Amino acid sequence: MLGSRVLLIVGGGIAAFKIPELIRMLRREGIAVVPVLTKGGAEFVTPLTLSALSESPCHSDLFDLTRESEMGHIQLSRAADLVVVAPATADLMAKMAAGLADDLASTLLLATDKPVLAAPAMNVRMWQHPATQRNRDTLEEDGIRFVGPDQGDMACGEYGPGRMAEPEAIRERILAMLGRDRPLRLSPEIAVALPAEPPVPAIGPLTGRHVLVTSGPTHEPIDPVRYIANRSSGAQGTAIAAALRDLGARVSFVTGPAEIPPPAGVEVIRVQTAREMREAVEAALPADAAVMAAAVADWRVANAQDHKIKKDGIGSAPVLEFSENPDILAWIGRLREGRPRLVVGFAAETDDVLAHASAKLQRKRADWIVANDVSPATGIMGGTENAVTLITADGAEAWPRMPKDEVARKLAARIAEALGQPPQEPQP
């Protein structure tokens, strides 16, 4: 969107070396970038580099008297369409969560009235520390969105979650938050985001097939800044969509606000709530198969407010009233016309996994259920591995614990086997 403006706050971490490439990507999209460099960030990238690439002055000093005579820090915080913090260090996240304002970056973040996207980057132990996780929870409650962190090797020699998301993933999230996907309005409440060019599928056993995949959590609003959600990262659904794509399928990927960016080469349909997901699923049909991997909220807040709920000062809490959300899996499983030939549901359980999942197979009229144990001790919810049991009319088949992308490839191969040969080759 020509004319979009991003205020880019660069924190003090080794990942700052990726920021010049991010700026190049945004500028190629016609997005104006105004860089703000922290004292720590200046140890890894220079103001001249950021200024030259962004074609905008690089700001770093809160007490720039020339600009402060016009309240420059307020103007900077309000003139942007989106504020991006990358890398978002543990220190910056702590300042944001506590509402501190002792330098230009933290002051801008406290003064802004615009959406904020943070790309965390830090040592794995720092990321996993309870204080950092509390700060992240606080920031999410305040409405701040996150991209990453990724898992991998780090500059300090350790391995694990804490790597800043790659510039391409940050770019995609920025474009989504700026509304850069082409909107196709299904209703006043939902916009379906399609890629600028139709993806070209690979050639494989699913060539000519259309597969619908849902992924990620849903967010059910309490008020304009708070929502009810779950811990799903969207990693398993994203991996399944990529595996199906690699086997030649045309994939419609309906995703809630997941941490993991959608894969390339699929049709991306972004939603927020369960009702939006239900509408998007219906719009994406017909399909040869539907893989319902999203962690859809069972309930929504019936008395959600259109303004931020304030504390009353006497310790009483607001009373939330709940209504059931649409059961998307049961709806698609019971379709009389247009039902996909293969409907695959997921059952994330914390106890009696096989019993609950087997009952779900019958109750939802699905063909398969992929069941897993997501109790906290397993580390599966939001983690990188999964241990699933595939439940069909023929019985239960336990798969060993493995990375989620391997689970996805195995499931995609089984789907290809179940669907058999495609009816036709895709048209060039």
- Catalytically annotated residues: 156
Q: Alpha-carbon distance 313 to 29, whole Å?
A: 47
N- to C-terminal Cα separation, the chain: 30
Is residue 364 part of an annotated ligand binding site? yes
Token digits of residue 175: 């474009």
Which residue is it, tokens 């997921």?
346
- Cβ-proximal residues to 312 (8 Å cutoff; 6+ apart), any chain: none
Which residue is it, tokens 């205020």?
7
Q: Alpha-carbon distance 45 to 58, whole Å?
A: 11
- Cβ-proximal residues to 46 (8 Å cutoff; 6+ apart), any chain: none
Give me the numbers of helices (H) and strands (E) for the chain, helices first please. Answer: 14, 23
Token digits of residue 397: 């088949």
Token digits of residue 340: 């996909």
Residue environment code for 7-26, b if the CB has 16+ CB neighbours within 10 A, otherwise e: bbbbbbbbbbebbbebbebb
Is residue 360 part of an annotated ligand binding site? yes
Instruction: Judge whether 214 and 277 are in contact, CB under 8 Å.
Output: yes
Q: How do the residues of the chain divide into helix, strand and coil, expressed in percent and rounded to 5? A: 35, 25, 40
Is residue 95 part of an annotated ligand binding site? no
Is residue 410 part of an annotated ligand binding site? no
Instruction: Judge whether 359 and 369 are in contact, CB under 8 Å.
Output: no
Q: Alpha-carbon distance 130 to 257, whole Å?
A: 23
Q: Is the preceding peptide bond at 87 cis, omega within 30 degrees of 0?
A: yes
Assign 170 to helix, strand or coil: helix
Annotated binding site: 298, 308, 326-329, 346, 360, 364
Residues that constitute the known binding site for CTP: 298, 308, 326-329, 346, 360, 364
